[in-house]
Each structure stands twice: as C-alpha cells, then as structure tokens.
Amino acid sequence: MKVSIIAVGTELLFGQTVNTNATYLSENLNHMGFDVMYHFVVGDNPQRLKEKLADAFSDTDIVLLTGGLGPTQDDLTKEMVAEYMGVEMYLDQRVVDDLRDFFRKRGGNMAENNFKQAYLPVGCTPLYNASGTAPGFALSRNGKTAICFPGPPRELKWLWEHGARQYLEQLTDKKMYYRIIRTIGIGESDLEMLLMPLIDGQSDPTIATYAKEGECTLRVASQRKDSDDARKACDEMMARIMELAGKYIYSTDDEDLNEVVVRMLKDKGVLISSAESCTGGGFASSITDIAGASSVLHSSYVTYSIDAKVKLGVPEDIISEYGVVSRETAVSMAEALKNVSGADLCISITGYAGPEADPGHDAGEAFIGYVYKNHKAAVRVLTNRNDRRWNRNYFILRMMRAVYMLLSDRADEIE
C-alpha cells in the first residue's frame, strides 16, 4: 500500500529544523511493507496544506501528517484534514480531562487556547498522547486514511508505538523484509557492475546501491504475502551477493565500521591505541563514539608536531632521513606507541590533510602504520583531493579499515 508523508511547519522551510520525523516514519513504514511514495513539507498555511493534501491523496491512499496540532492559531492540520474528509469536529472529553490533569499536575493554569487541542474529527480513532498535550488521530473515510501526529519527535514516536502502528497493521496484507549491507574498498559503479548478473532483470528481491562518504551501501528487499517468504528470498539473494562481493562486505546488518571494529576488539580481547598526526584525534574519537569502548582503548596520542612524535619515541634520524610524512615514520610511530601504551594493536598516521603540504608532497597524502602480532608495516593513502575535512574523514575510515583487516587475519589486503 502506498503512503505519503506531509510535514507541516514553517521552521522546516526556514532550514531551522531537519525533517527527521519523515525519516523515522519512512523507515518504520518500510519495515511494515508500505511503499512510501512522497514526502512533502509545507508551511503553516491552510491553503497550501489543503492543496498538498489533495495532491498526496490523488496518488496514495494513506497520508501521514506531522506537526500543526498544537494550541496556537497557526496550528491547522486537524481542521484541514477534517475539511478534506468532509467531517465536523467534536470536543473529546477525555482530551479535555487529560489537559486539565496535565496542567494541574504542573501547578499551572491552563491557557484557554489549549482547549483547541481537544477538538477532533468526528469518526476518528483518537491517538491519546501520554508524552505531550496534543493528541493525534487516525481517520479512514471512502478508502482514504489520514493519520496525524504532533511535530515534536519524541511525541510522534510515542504515538507511533502506541496506536498508529497498530492502526496501520490492520490495513495491510503484504510483508516487507530488507537487509542493509555495508561495504568498503569498492566504488558504487564497480559494485553495480560486479552485481549486474543479480541486478539485471531484478523484480523481487530488489537490490539497490547507495554511495555514502568513502563507502557504498547495498539494500536487498523483498515484499511477499508471508514474512517468512520475504525473509527467505532476501537470505537467498544475500548468499549470492556474498559469493560475488563478499570480500568488500563488512556488515550485513547496517552497522557502521567503527561499531563492527569495536565489537571485534571486544570479542577478541584486543587492546587498541593510536598515534595520530593529521587526523588529530579523530580515530580515537571514532572508536570512543561506541559505548563500552573503555574496555578496548585505554589511551591514545595526538602527536601533531615533529617534537611530539620524537617525544613518543620516534628516532629523530628516521624523521630527518625519510621525512615526517613517510612509510618509515608511520611504522616507527606505531612501534613507539606499542612501547608507550602496551596496547596489542597499535595504529598510526602521518600525512597532509590539506590545504598545505611540504614541497614534493600533495595534500591528501598520508601513511598509516600498524603493529599487531607479527605484522609491522605502513601503507600509503593518496586521495587526490585538497579538502581537509574530507581527507581527515577518509583517513580515519582507512585506518578503521586497516584495523578491520588486521582483526580479520587479512593483513595482506590492507591498502
């Protein structure tokens, strides 16, 4: 079944608020097997809302609306939906009681305009809101269904879990199952070429590729009458994808690479430490983004200057002979780090994030060094970009990838 989402709120059109509600609803609707066809955003303007409501219903039978249910004059979503559906409004006594209760508990007087929130369209299924003051509702009439949610994401999520999802479940008979596969080390076009035998002539399951920063994501999705069938079809397709592109896949469950790496470090009981120059602490920060990182990272070093590298234990000779951005310095940083930190897996980076680089070098050049078990080496990374932020993020991803390969006993594939 096809669904549109209309978000109502001038703050979205001003760029003050990101439309995360549409993302949340879309993800959940897709899980349930609904096809989300459109998102719309309109301001707090009754005429334009009315037009977009008609547009949305012309293509889809179900429209979810967010925002514009509050007590102020420009909150008009409910009224427009009732008008479109051709029903009157009624005063819902339970909402009145809930509102009185809410304000009494807070010890405040209820402003008169709050009663506006207690009016609902005749014939609707109210979605009483225990996480805020504005109720939502679901209303089906003549084969069309509208579900209205308040704008604050926390309240919207509460109403989704407490009534809206259940209301929608009654409306559908198809079940969707999908998996998100994360890859590294291959571009979108190459991945698509590699999987062409599977993508070509696809109907169900479908395979789609998405480029993300420095990596590529695959979605495998199946929609069947039976959820076990959908799952089975996806699993079979996943097995064929693994055969063709397995070496590039690091997660079949939409995990970020740092999540996967921290889990592997924990599982293997490996302690990690980093000595970072051009990434300036970004690698350690990415590891410690993950809850529970304290069991795998005890300390880390930002050795930004030559002096800091020497203090860590890199011989001055190495730096003067090979240069501060060199394979030899990177390896030596990892070795020195091993002595200082005592960690099992030591990783280092020295390079030029940009815009500046020393003579004979380009911004975007870096060496990643590592010491782990019997592996001790460094690899050169060259981005050919002079974009400091991009380079730093990409260097961190490449460090993470090197750690992933070391932990997977695939050191020979580090690049």
Residue 269 to residue 266: CA distance in whole angstroms: 5
Cβ contact 370:344 at 8 Å: no
Which of residues 70 and 205 has its CB atom nearest to a copy of itself in the complex? 70
Which of residues 102 and 322 has its CB atom nearest to a copy of itself in the complex? 102
Beta carbon of residue 409, minimum distance to a copy of itself (angstroms, whole number): 26
Beta carbon of residue 79, minimum distance to a copy of itself (angstroms, whole number): 18
Contacts of 377 (CB under 8 A, 6+ apart): 331, 369, 370, 411, 414
Beta carbon of residue 123, minimum distance to a copy of itself (angstroms, whole number): 28
DSSP per position, 103-149: HHHTT-PPPGGGGGGGEEETT-EEE--TTSS--EEEEEETTEEEEEE
262 torsion bin: left (phi>0), alpha (psi -120 to 50), beta (else): alpha
Cβ contact 140:57 at 8 Å: no
Beta carbon of residue 141, minimum distance to a copy of itself (angstroms, whole number): 24
Beta carbon of residue 11, minimum distance to a copy of itself (angstroms, whole number): 5
Which of residues 338 and 392 has its CB atom nearest to a copy of itself in the complex? 392
Which of residues 76 and 284 has its CB atom nearest to a copy of itself in the complex? 284
Nearest to 275, CA basis, from 216, 348, 367: 348
Which of residues 121 and 354 has its CB atom nearest to a copy of itself in the complex? 354
Which of residues 94 and 298 has its CB atom nearest to a copy of itself in the complex? 298
Which of residues 105 and 143 has its CB atom nearest to a copy of itself in the complex? 105
- Phi, psi for 128 (deg, rounded to 5): -65, 140
Contacts of 54 (CB under 8 A, 6+ apart): 84
Neighbouring C-alpha atoms within 13 Å toward the C-beta of 120: 23
Residue 365: strand pairing partners = 382
H or E stretch covering 102:
helix 93-105
Token pair in block for residue 126: 């109210």
What does the DSSP 8-state code read for residue 170? Answer: T
Beta carbon of residue 377, minimum distance to a copy of itself (angstroms, whole number): 20
N residues, the chain: 415
Beta carbon of residue 48, minimum distance to a copy of itself (angstroms, whole number): 7
Beta carbon of residue 173, minimum distance to a copy of itself (angstroms, whole number): 21
Which of residues 294 and 374 has its CB atom nearest to a copy of itself in the complex? 294
